[in-house]
Amino acid sequence: MKASRSWTRLAGAAVLLLAIVVGLEYGRSRPALGPPELVAGRHDEHRERPGGRDPKVDADEDTVPAATQGLEFEAPSVVLMDAATGKVLAEKNPHERRPIASVTKVMTLVLAFEAMEQGRIDWDDKVVVSPYAAEYATGTHIFLHEGEVISVRNLLYAVAVGSANDASVALAEHVAGSEERFVQLMNAKAKALGMNNTNYVDSHGLSLDGYSTAYDQALLAREAARYPELLKLTSIFYMEDTPEPREVRGRRVQVELLNRNRLLLGYSGLDGLKTGFTSQANFCVVATARRGDTRMVAVVLGHPSSSGRNREAAKLLNHGFANWVSLPVVKRGDVVGSVRVHRGARETVPAVAAEDMAVLVERGRQEEVERRVVLEERLVAPVARGQRLGEIVVGLAGEEPQRVALVAAEEVRALGYVGLVWRVMQHLFRGGP
């Protein structure tokens, strides 16, 4: 009995001594952490490299595949872009500044859907039409009346399907308070997306002072494709009336909505985005289509005819789908692995993808794609949510790979002294290290 009590005291003393040692060592080795993206690790050399979906990808002439050199276009400016990666697959004067007419409304729609995503407006909001918006009974319009109460839903359909100028102004005023303020938001969004050769001056495109480029509009199309409901609207060719009935001064108002994008009638997978025409801009289109996991964006600016515009947009899309395929790698938030956490309230932390990621490869080379997950072996608590833990590296052998960051899915607190003692005791009793 005495030997048993002595052994118990000895074991207890050993545990206490071990805990003290661990506590002292914890105090010496705990790193000073800065912002999560600055935490040191084994893969710092990769941290400045772009990974995942980056709307600011540069369009260098050298990056355009040699396979496009034989393509010829009558339009003065065109771009074919893979939507997932932003890679330019064909181009002609991609950065030439040109008027874009009603293609301007793509940005109007993007800002409206962004406002809904942020909870600032809603489909069912009621908008009182201002005198200023009602004055835009020029070009394509839905005959808005001053003082009329109309839903955001009706305005969105009118802009996306019918390209209504008065609806664009009313929507802009609802989102930002005035069209002038809305234009400021348009240009701020353009800058954020890397649209460096774009200047918006209105929400509809009637002004002669606005301009953009084929490349910039392709970047915007990638952003628009983030909103499935936006593409659902721009894929509609014809509606007999707005989705909700309109009534002005006791009288029913019915207006047909006709989409000028005739590619919707026959091009497989096409679901947007917008056409435009003025005598200065000529015929323009931003077209996007999806087949399987591959989405292509074709931009044609300044074509002398509407049929030629459509023909060259289809030519670009055909070229993209015939020669390349987009392979999904990971979705934002997908758990890819886990990393051990030393002296943390949790012993591991899940590593999730920071962004969506896809890789574009030439058809026939899909099986050659190599994928590698690189993670830190171990971290010392605390770990901040969003802290970089590693990366996924994907590509073809001998080519520059693509990378996407892997980050901590949640915060892991550092254990205090009592927690460390309890953790040591748990490991001792279950025979752990």
pLDDT at 399: 85
Among 310, 210, 219, 190, smallest CA distance to 260 is for: 310
Looking at the domain assignment, is residue 344 inside a domain?
yes
115 shares a domain with 214: yes
Report helix, strand or coil for 211. Answer: strand
In sequence order, the β-bridge partners of residue 149 are 128
Which of 4-18, 204-218, 260-274, 365-379 comes out lowest in average pLDDT? Answer: 4-18
- In the block, which residue shows the tokens 């002294």? 417
Asked whether residue 37 carries a pLDDT value surpassing 60, the answer given is no
Which of 58-67, 226-235, 300-309, 400-409 comes out lowest in average pLDDT? Answer: 58-67
81 shares a domain with 47: no
Looking at the domain assignment, is residue 207 inside a domain?
yes
Q: Of 110 and 347, which is predicted with more confidence?
A: 110
Q: CA–CA separation, 164 vs 121, rounded Å?
A: 20
350 shares a domain with 379: yes
pLDDT at 418: 54
pLDDT at 59: 39
Mean per-residue pLDDT of the chain: 85
Q: pLDDT tens digits for 175-193?
A: 999 999 999 999 999 999 9
- In the block, which residue shows the tokens 């099986």? 367
DSSP 8-class letter at 384: -
Looking at the domain assignment, is residue 79 inside a domain?
yes
Looking at the domain assignment, is residue 8 inside a domain?
no
> In the listed set 328, 354, 387, which residue is the last one of a domain according to the structure?
328
At residue 293, φ and ψ (nearest 5 deg) are -95, 5
368 shares a domain with 291: no
- Determine the average pLDDT of the residues in 29-42: 32
In sequence order, the β-bridge partners of residue 3 are none
Per the structure, how many domains does the chain have?
2
> In the listed set 300, 328, 356, which residue is the last one of a domain according to the structure?
328
What's 409's domain CATH number? Answer: 2.60.410.10
Q: CA–CA separation, 98 vs 303, rounded Å?
A: 12
195 shares a domain with 166: yes
Asked whether residue 309 carries a pLDDT value surpassing 60, the answer given is yes
- Catalytic one of 77, 87, 92, 102: 102
300 shares a domain with 184: yes
pLDDT at 421: 60
Q: Is the peptide bond before 65 cis (omega within 30 degrees of 0)?
A: no
E strand intervals along 162-232: none
- In the block, which residue shows the tokens 């025979």? 431
Asked whether residue 28 carries a pLDDT value surpassing 50, the answer given is no
Q: CA–CA separation, 385 vs 383, rounded Å?
A: 7
219 shares a domain with 119: yes
What is the span of the domain harbouring residue 352?
13-52+330-429
Q: Is the peptide bond before 270 cis (omega within 30 degrees of 0)?
A: no
pLDDT band at 237 (very low <50, low <70, confident <90, very high): very high
Q: Is residue 105 among the annotated active site residues?
A: yes
Looking at the domain assignment, is residue 263 inside a domain?
yes
Q: pLDDT tens digits for 324-345?
A: 999 999 999 999 999 999 887 8
- Determine the average pLDDT of the residues in 32-47: 31
Q: Is residue 235 among the annotated active site residues?
A: no
| Sequence-separated (6 or more) residues with CB below 8 Å from residue 288 | 83, 221, 224, 225, 231, 270, 271, 272, 273, 295, 296, 297, 298
pLDDT at 184: 98
pLDDT at 72: 94
pLDDT at 36: 33
- Catalytic one of 163, 203, 212, 235: 163
Looking at the domain assignment, is residue 2 inside a domain?
no
187 shares a domain with 48: no
Report helix, strand or coil for 9. Answer: helix
Tokens of 176: 């930002």
Q: Which pTM does this prediction carry?
A: 0.80
Supply the angle between the helices 165-176 and 152-160 in degrees, to the nearest 10.
130
Looking at the domain assignment, is residue 413 inside a domain?
yes
Q: Is residue 163 among the annotated active site residues?
A: yes
Asked whether residue 20 carries a pLDDT value surpassing 60, the answer given is no
198 shares a domain with 337: no
What's 148's domain CATH number? Answer: 3.40.710.10
pLDDT at 296: 98
Report helix, strand or coil for 93. Answer: coil
Kindly list the distances between the CA atom of residue 189 and the CA atoms of 100, 200, 223, in Å, as whole numbers in the listed order: 17, 10, 10
Residue type for position 373:
V
Q: What is the maximum span of the chain, computed from C-alpha positions, in angstroms?
A: 105
370 shares a domain with 320: no
Report helix, strand or coil for 34. Answer: coil
334 shares a domain with 324: no
- Determine the average pLDDT of the residues in 260-275: 97
Residue 154 region by backbone torsions, left for phi larger than 0, else alpha for psi between -120 and 50, else beta: alpha
Q: Of 61 and 418, which is predicted with more confidence?
A: 418
Q: pLDDT tens digits for 70-109?
A: 789 999 999 999 999 999 999 999 999 999 999 999 999 9
172 shares a domain with 208: yes
- Catalytic one of 87, 92, 105, 274: 105
pLDDT band at 427 (very low <50, low <70, confident <90, very high): low
> In the listed set 303, 328, 353, which residue is the last one of a domain according to the structure?
328
pLDDT at 415: 77
- In the block, which residue shows the tokens 């595949």? 65
pLDDT at 8: 52
Residues found in the chain? 433
Looking at the domain assignment, is residue 3 inside a domain?
no
